Structure 1
Amino acid sequence: MGIAEDLMNKIKGLLLLTAILVTAACAPEVGSEAWCKAMSEKPKGDWTANELSDYTKSCVFK
């Protein structure tokens, strides 16, 4: 592997890490009004078991 190729792989890794951190930082807190609204707009077939449980506890049975 050349130096340029190694550098490109490191840059790609940093960009991926940055994208993950930005996405996680922008997500509303589980149980908040914003989260409940976002979940109600998300297709029910795409929900995980944890999301269903959290939604039921936080948004249905307040």
Structure 2
Amino acid sequence: MKKVGLLLACCALLTACAPEVGSKGWCEDMKEKPKGDWTANEASDFAKHCVFTSNED
């Protein structure tokens, strides 16, 4: 049972370090990731946040 807790703690730490979906860092990371490894959600989010962005600042 201790191993499961340790595994969950490690996963939480690793995901906390990932850039927020739609951020500039996330878009850059996705550009480096092979397209074949993208999930459907990642492809949709990439199109929404990185391709079809609004220039209204």
TM class by shorter chain equals 0.7 to 0.9
- The amino acid across from 1:28 in the alignment is P
1:18 to 9, 30, 45: 9
Q: Which consecutive residues of structure 2, in runs of 5 or more, have no partner in the other structure?
A: none
Q: Which residue of 2 aligns with 1:32?
A: 23
Matched, 1:41 2:32: yes
Matched, 1:56 2:50: no
Identify the structure with the greater helix proportion: 1
CA RMSD across the alignment: 0.8
Q: Which consecutive residues of structure 1, in runs of 5 or more, have no partner in the other structure?
A: 1-9
Deviation of 1:11 (Å): 2.2
- Give the TM-score, by structure 2 length: 0.86
Deviation of 1:15 (Å): 1.3
Question: How many correspondences in the alignment?
Answer: 53
Percent identity among equivalent residues?
Answer: 60
- Give the TM-score, by structure 1 length: 0.80
In our comparison, the structure showing a higher alpha carbon Rg is 1
**Which segments of structure 1 move beyond 3 Å, counting only runs of 4 or more?**
none
- The amino acid across from 2:10 in the alignment is A
Deviation of 1:13 (Å): 1.2
